[in-house]
């Protein structure tokens, strides 16, 4: 009938439900506990899943917004067999800067594990030999000192910029800028300390040290074959450039330079930030879906508990049902009464589960150093979802209650 009347009916039913739940307080608490655990598990799963997403996204954002990576290796879709033919050189980098439209900067890199030592201490870390373009493309900043400059690259200066983790291991809380550290036994002057970049999915982005590109060329032990081979090339694009198109331009240029024919294996791979984002969205999406699916099982068990207890409740209150029918309750009034009771029970459980999940997520963030955000949408959604669980699992007992014959129900003891 009218909306006012429906709302009135709902309010009455909530009142009846609360009285009934209070009457069997212990039983109600235990049943709500099942739903609480289910909602706790689901909300935590969603939180950890979106935490993974946030973590991966921030890593990608650190790469720079509009950028492509060129990696010297054959396209894996043709099999990894011919890894040794992977090739990318400084001349390729210069050609890209010259002839691909929209390129704002390039940052060729050499990568090698290096040994850093000061008297009494020794650590190994990931050494990156970079040009002055690196900072610009990757949004890298320093807490103190400065980054690798063009002059350092030209002079093949023995200078180094340390990441937070490396600096901490060698110097503790002291500012390392101005100190000397031996890189593979050769003394380098420390010119900068990188700002913290955090960790993503277990990889410490601060366990790193930067040296000038030319210095790295001289001092790094490189696995690549040629004298001007690169480990990796970052190509920065103007924000207005469409990355899909830019990638096509890059690939076309490099294929021409290496005479790669149709169907041949490319000696390089090009990945754009856009592709990383899409890829990680897929991976974290699957990760989250699996987590939520597993957590949902506990909610299912909670729901079965609801159905069980509602069946008991209907049986116990058969006489009340008969009385209400004699007083004029229609089948649907009785059905709705029990539906609301199940929904209220589930929502109480859901609310408790949500509160616990928010607390657990905060603890998890502290202990595991991994983001686990519980968004407002998830909070509201979990309460609504609990109500739906109540309606779903309370549905059968409620329909059964509504189908009782008033005479039989009145006669029951």
Local structure of residue 97 (DSSP, 8 states): H
Q: Which two tokens stand for residue 176?
A: 């390392």
Q: Are 45 and 288 in contact (CB under 8 A)?
A: yes
Interface residue with another protein among 70, 241, 329, 374 (CB under 8 A) is 329
Asked whether position 256 contacts another protein by CB under 8 A, the answer is no
Closer of 310 and 404 to another protein (Cβ): 404
Binding residues among 261-320 for another protein as defined by CB under 8 A = 319-320
Residues contacting residue 54 through CB under 8 Å, at least 6 positions apart: 371, 373
Q: Is 23 a residue that touches another protein (CB under 8 A)?
A: yes
Decide: is 323 part of the binding site for another protein (CB under 8 A): yes
Binding segment for another protein (CB under 8 A), chosen from 146-154, 159-167, 278-286, 329-337, is 329-337
Do strands 142-145 and 121-130 pair parallel, antiparallel, or not at all (unpaired)?
unpaired
Cα 13 from Cα 344, distance rounded (Å): 10
Residues 217, 219, 324, 335: which binds another protein (CB under 8 A)? 324
Extract the tokens encoding 225: 């074959």
Is 21 or 160 the residue whose CB approaches another protein more closely?
Answer: 21
Interaction between residue 14 and another protein (CB under 8 A): no
Candidates 147, 325, 351, 361; binder of another protein (CB under 8 A) is 325
* Binding of another protein by 124 (CB under 8 A): no
Let me know: does 216 contact 110? Beta carbons within 8 Å: yes
Angle at the Cα of 59 (from 202 to 374), degrees rounded to 5? 80
Question: DSSP code of 78?
Answer: G
By CB under 8 A, residue 19 contacts another protein:
yes
Choice from 11, 174, 225, 359 touching another protein (CB under 8 A): 11
- Least Å distance, CB 395 to another protein, is 19
Stretch that binds another protein, among 11-19, 32-40, 194-202, 281-289 (CB under 8 A): 11-19
Q: Which helix (H) or strand (E) holds 70?
A: strand 67-71
Question: Cα(86)–Cα(208) distance, rounded to whole angstroms?
Answer: 25
Q: Work out whether 7 is an interface residue with another protein (CB under 8 A).
A: no
Give dist(CA 153, CA 164) in Å, integer: 23
> Using CB under 8 A as the criterion, which residues of the chain lie in contact with another protein when the complex forms?
1, 5, 8-9, 11-12, 19, 22-23, 319-320, 323-333, 406-407, 410
């Amino acid at each position: 009938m009218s909306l006012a009347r429906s709302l009135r009916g709902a309010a009455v039913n909530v009142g009846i439900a609360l009285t009934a739940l209070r009457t069997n307080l212990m039983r109600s608490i235990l049943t709500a506990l099942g739903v609480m655990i289910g909602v706790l598990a689901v909300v935590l799963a969603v939180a950890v899943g979106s935490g993974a997403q946030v973590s991966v996204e921030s890593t990608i954002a650190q790469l720079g917004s509009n950028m492509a990576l060129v990696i010297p290796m054959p396209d894996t879709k043709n099999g990894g067999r011919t890894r040794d033919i992977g090739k990318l050189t400084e001349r390729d980098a210069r050609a890209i800067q010259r002839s691909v439209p929209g390129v704002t900067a390039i940052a060729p890199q050499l990568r090698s594990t290096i040994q850093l030592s000061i008297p009494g201490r020794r650590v190994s870390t990931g050494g990156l030999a970079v040009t002055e373009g690196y900072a610009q493309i990757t949004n890298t900043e320093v807490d103190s000192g400065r980054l690798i400059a063009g002059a350092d690259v030209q002079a093949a200066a023995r200078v180094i910029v340390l990441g937070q983790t490396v600096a901490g291991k060698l110097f503790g809380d002291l500012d390392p800028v101005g100190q000397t550290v031996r890189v593979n036994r050769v003394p380098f002057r420390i010119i900068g300390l990188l700002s913290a970049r955090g960790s993503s999915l277990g990889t410490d982005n601060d366990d790193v040290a930067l040296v000038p590109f030319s210095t790295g060329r001289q001092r790094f032990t490189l696995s690549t074959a040629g004298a001007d081979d690169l480990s990796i090339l970052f190509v920065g694009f103007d924000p207005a450039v469409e990355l899909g198109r830019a990638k096509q331009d890059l690939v076309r240029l490099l294929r021409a330079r290496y005479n790669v024919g149709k169907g041949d294996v490319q000696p390089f791979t090009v990945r754009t930030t856009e592709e990383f984002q899409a890829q990680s969205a897929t991976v974290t999406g699957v990760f989250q879906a699996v987590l939520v699916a597993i957590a949902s099982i506990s909610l299912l068990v909670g729901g079965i508990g609801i159905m069980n207890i509602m069946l008991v409740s209907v049986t116990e209150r058969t006489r009340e049902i008969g009385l209400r029918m004699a007083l004029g309750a229609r089948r649907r009034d009785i059905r709705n009464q029990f539906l609301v009771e199940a929904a209220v029970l589930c929502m109480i459980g859901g609310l408790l589960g949500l509160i616990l999940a928010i607390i657990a997520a905060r603890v998890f963030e502290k202990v595991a150093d991994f983001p686990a955000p519980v968004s407002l949408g998830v909070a509201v959604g979990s309460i609504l979802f609990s109500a739906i669980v109540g309606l779903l699992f309370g549905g059968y007992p409620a329909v059964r209650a509504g189908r009782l014959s008033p005479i039989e129900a009145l006669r029951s003891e």
